[in-house]
Structures are given as structure tokens and as C-alpha cells.
Structure 1
Amino acid sequence: MTGYSSKTDVATANGKQNGSGNQTGENGTKPTEFTPQGNHAYPYEVIQEIADFIVKGSGIRPKIGIICGSGLGSLADIIQNPKVFDYEKIPNFPVSTVEGHAGRLVVGTLEGANVMAMQGRFHFYEGYPLAKCSMPVRVMKLCGVEYLFATNAAGGINPKYAVGDIMLMHDHVNMLGFAGNSPLQGPNDPRFGPRFPALVNSYNKDLINKAIEISKTMGIESSVHVGVYSCLGGPTYETIAELKALRMMGVDAVGMSTVHEVITARHCDMKVFAFSLITNKCATEYSDKKDDEASHDEVMAVAKNRQKTCCELVSRLVAEIQKTA
């Protein structure tokens, strides 16, 4: 991928590099250094500074934001005229520590629309609080993003799902929320959204219906489902008892991300489309077979095999949005 390289060009986006390698502003001052305390919420002003850094460095105000799940980083590779920002070079931005997450932000165009994509997200199990995991969604909002596309690799609990299928999310069960964890904990800043946001229509029905129609034109409708996703804390995969309980609750697929990002996006009034790539079938019966155990290698292999299909689905849906722009 060519374009903006934070190793060489980051200075032009936010001033210059000082002798220690830290960024300095155009007037010689360093950008605000913020270490979140307490509930780890980022002040509006810090998020605005991050957004300004990205918009100035890319020269683009994106309309659509994409979060690439495990093994699905190729979604960002199809962006045209990309400007690439390494997370470690973005002021006050977290760093992804998971294999299969490149740790880069890519800004450019896709099907004529201005987009930005995260190649690598942040997870609760990495030690990040949920407010920090979902902070990039607020950055997207202040960059100008109106639509959030969130993708993930997930285990299929619904017995009708096969490995390689795609589940369009129309609802979720927030298990981390059941335990009292929320990305919106702490004082509410009304510049982002209301104190008590409603989530009954979190996933945009029009986008889901358009994705279903697109799947038919692609000839993949038999492997596309609409279902309920649940996020657990991880990093362990689920026990048999946990999977049985989730299935009884109506959950179709389970993973370790996305829900807190969706909550944050809806809080700031972004339209949300999300899907899970089913990378393994969850075992719901006790067995001594090692083949029944989920693994990250399996997740990455399935994602690699289905990345072309996922990219086409996203591209066509972006094109549909752009038609109405």
C-alpha cells in the first residue's frame, strides 16, 4: 500500500519531529499528552485533537468508518488513494496487540465515498477499559463519519451456521454490560450524545436489507444470515455451559468485540452496519476431541479464505450509500 507513511510523513500532519522522536506542533509545542485516569474516558478536546490530526494529515473528511475484524484487514487494502497512519504515531491513540491486527488507520476513497478504516481494534482482554476500546469510534465521529461498518470474526452457536458464513447483526446481548461494564460509564458529555441512549434500533434496518439484496446478486444468499451477536470478555474461548446458556438466550454468534463500539456509535448518532464472519462452529456438547476446540489459527485461516467475499459485500454496500449521497 502506498500513500501516507507515518514513519516519514507524520511530521507534515502535525508539525515536526523533535529530537526524541515525539511529535511537536507547528508552533513548536507538543500536542496534548493525555493519560486517562479513573474511568479512562477521553475528554472531548483530546478526541478532537486526534480527529484534527487525522483530517489534516489525510486531507479528507470521511463519511464511512470501517472496523476490520481479525483476519479481515484486507477490507482496508481495497481503499483507493490511501493515507496510512500507524497507531503508534497518532497522538493519544492506543496500540493493538493482537495477531492479525496490523495497527494502522487507513483514510481514502472506496466506490467514490470518503472512508476511513481501522486495521486492528482494541479489546477488553488486552487490558484496555471499554471507553478506550471504543474511543476510536468517537474519533471517527469528529472526523465526519456518519456510518460505522463493524466487522468481526465470531464463533457460530446457531447450528444452522457453517464455517465461512456471514451473519448480519440485527441485535446483540451485551454480557459485559450485564457485569456492569460500559464504554459510557462516568460523566456524560452531551456533545457526543445523551446520558441514557436507546439501543432498540442499534443496527440500521435499511443497511441490513440492502446487504441481503447484495448477497443475492453475489450469489451467496444461502450463506448469509441475520442474527444476534454477543460479546464476552475473553481472551479464553467459551465453555460448553456458557455456549449452551448463550444459545438459550437467543444468541447466534459469539465474539470478543464490536458491542461496545456499536454502543458508542449509537450514542453519537451514527448509523451502524455490522456483520460476523463465522470462523468456527462452537461446540455445545462435551467431547474429548481436540478438533472441537476453537483456535486463533483457525479463525485467521477462515478469514483469509473469505476475505474476497467480505470485501465485495462491503464495497457494494458503500456504493449503495454513495448513490444516495
Structure 2
Amino acid sequence: MINLKDKYKNIIENIGGIIPFKPEICIVLGSGLGGFADNFVNKFTIPTNEIPGYPKSTVEGHKGYLHFVEYNNKKILLVQGRLHFYEGYRLSDCLLPVHIASQMGVEKIILTNAAGGVNKYFIPGDLMLTSSFISFNIKKEMAEVMGAGNIESRNRSFPSEYLNDVIKRAASEEMIPLKEGVYWFNKGPSYETPAEIEMAARMNCDAVGMSTVHEAYYAHLMGMETSSISCITNMAAGISQNKLSHQEVIDTAELVKDKFERLVKKSIELM
């Protein structure tokens, strides 16, 4: 079993020596949603490429920064740039940003991502609150880091009912339509085939993506209130008639950035 505390001890010590405060909330920004961090003027930023031993994010839309900001009298860590399996990294690498949050004392975490729509009633630009995850194709890797018993025993109260209720209240107050659904994890690097999407639909999946699920499990295991919001940036293969591309993901996320910002900020205010 891989011990993340031992593996990343030096990184945690390096960061801990320079951060301006210990954050209480963490928000991980998904593909195309990193611009949310630009809305904060007074922020303390650590480029991850300046942290010895920190893996490099290679995906467009994931710049690689840790931002420490204050909003509505709350101390927040914004992770701008996550790490993915399809970049060639191991699960322990992909969990590093969430591990940092846990070691900094974060109590609540919202994970965001860009996802393909499987539910035919969704359209690109929708925001989806995750009600559950399907992650059978990553169980072995998660067990190597978290322990199989921990994964199963923690599933019952997950995602956080408290945080999901907060996000739904925020959407209502901001009059932002918010879908709810099941997120299916795919390792990548290629997009799913139409047959795989048909299988996902038969399993009652609503969206599919290549991140988040392992981060959510680990955050929950570390005692954080954990929730997830997906931006539906395209319809999945076999549903969409267009060829899937990462540029489509970036372009659609740009179109929804205003309502995404309002939803996250209102959620922070209501916590």
C-alpha cells in the first residue's frame, strides 16, 4: 500500500513553510474552468512547477497553480490544474492536490470537471451536481492507496449531503438550472466509443469524464465534506454527431464561466 504522507512529506513541508494561512475550503478547477481563479485580485499563488517534486500538468486548461484566497471571510485553496491518468501518472500522483488540501486542514472540498453528457436530456453548457459515482475500472488502483476496506465502508454517506444541499440552495438563489446525476469515470486517454457510452447509459450514468472520482474518494476518506460539479461540455460519442475534441471542452466551459462563478461563490457564502 502506498503511503501518501511518506511519499509527499517534502512537498507538504515546502508548501507549509510559505502559505499565508491554512485553508478551510478547497476548490479543484477542471478543464476550461481554471479562469475562476482570475476573479480574485488579492491572492497568494504558488506555481506548482516551483515546488520540488511536484508533477507537471500537461493538459490545456490546467495551468498548474495553487492559489490561496479569501472570500466572504473564508480562507480558500484554489487548485488550478489537476493531474490525470491519461498523462501517464499513477493514482498517487493524481491525488497530490487533494492530499495537499487534507494536510493543510481543509474541511470542505468541491471538485469540478468538464464531462461528456450521457443523459440525452442534457445539453452542452448544463451544470450537473454529482449524486453518485461509478468507478469499477479504478478500484484496484484506489485499493493500493486507500485500502479496499476503507473504500467500501465510506461509500454509504458519499457525496456529502450537506455540501450537495448547499450547492442546490446556491443554484436556487442564483436562479441557475442545476441537473443532478451519476458520473462515470474513464481512465482515458481516448474518448469513449459509442458502444461504451451505450453501456454507461444502461448503467444509468448521466455524464462521463476522466478525473474526480479518485479525488472524491480520497477526500472523503480524509474526513472532508466532499462534493462535485460537472460542466457538460459536449454530448458523448454516439449521442453527438460531432467529432469529440478537447477544444470543444474548452470552448463550452468558456461560455458557462459566468454561471459557474456565481454558483461556486454563492455556495461559499452559504457554507
TM-score, scaled to structure 1: 0.78
CA deviation after TM superposition for structure 1 residue 181, in Å: 2.5
Q: Which deviates more from structure 2 when the two are superposed, residues 97-106 or residues 51-60?
A: 51-60
Structure 1 residue aligned with 2:224, among 246, 270, 273? Answer: 270
Partner of 2:170: 214
Partner of 1:299: 249
Structure 1: gaps of 5 or more residues: 1-38
SS at match of 2:130: strand
CA–CA distance in 2 between the matches of 1:120 and 1:43? 19
- Do the aligned partners of 1:164 and 1:306 also contact (CA within 8 Å) in 2? yes
Cα 1:206–1:82, aligned 2, differ >3 Å: closer, same or farther?
A: same
Residue 109 (str. 1) matches residue 65 (str. 2) = no
Residue 247 (str. 1) matches residue 204 (str. 2) = no
SS at match of 1:62: coil
Partner of 2:114: 153
CA deviation after TM superposition for structure 1 residue 187, in Å: 8.0
CA–CA distance in 1 between the matches of 2:191 and 2:37? 27
CA–CA distance in 1 between the matches of 2:210 and 2:225? 21
SS at match of 1:169: strand
Q: How many residues align?
A: 270
Residue 181 (str. 1) matches residue 137 (str. 2) = no
CA deviation after TM superposition for structure 1 residue 122, in Å: 0.3
Cα 1:140–1:170, aligned 2, differ >3 Å: closer, same or farther?
A: same
- Do the aligned partners of 1:79 and 1:107 also contact (CA within 8 Å) in 2? no
CA–CA distance in 1 between the matches of 2:146 and 2:69? 34
The one-letter code matched in structure 2 to 1:312 is R
Structure 2: gaps of 5 or more residues: none
Higher relative CO (CA 8 A, sep ≥ 6), structure 1 or 2?
2
Structure 2 residue aligned with 1:311, among 261, 266, 270? Answer: 261
TM-score, scaled to structure 2: 0.92
- Do the aligned partners of 2:176 and 2:263 also contact (CA within 8 Å) in 1? no
CA deviation after TM superposition for structure 1 residue 76, in Å: 1.9
Structure index of larger Rg: 1
CA deviation after TM superposition for structure 1 residue 95, in Å: 1.1
Partner of 2:125: 164
Cα 1:87–1:144, aligned 2, differ >3 Å: closer, same or farther?
A: same
Which structure carries more helix by proportion? 2
- Percent identical across equivalent pairs? 33
CA deviation after TM superposition for structure 1 residue 77, in Å: 2.0
CA deviation after TM superposition for structure 1 residue 186, in Å: 5.1
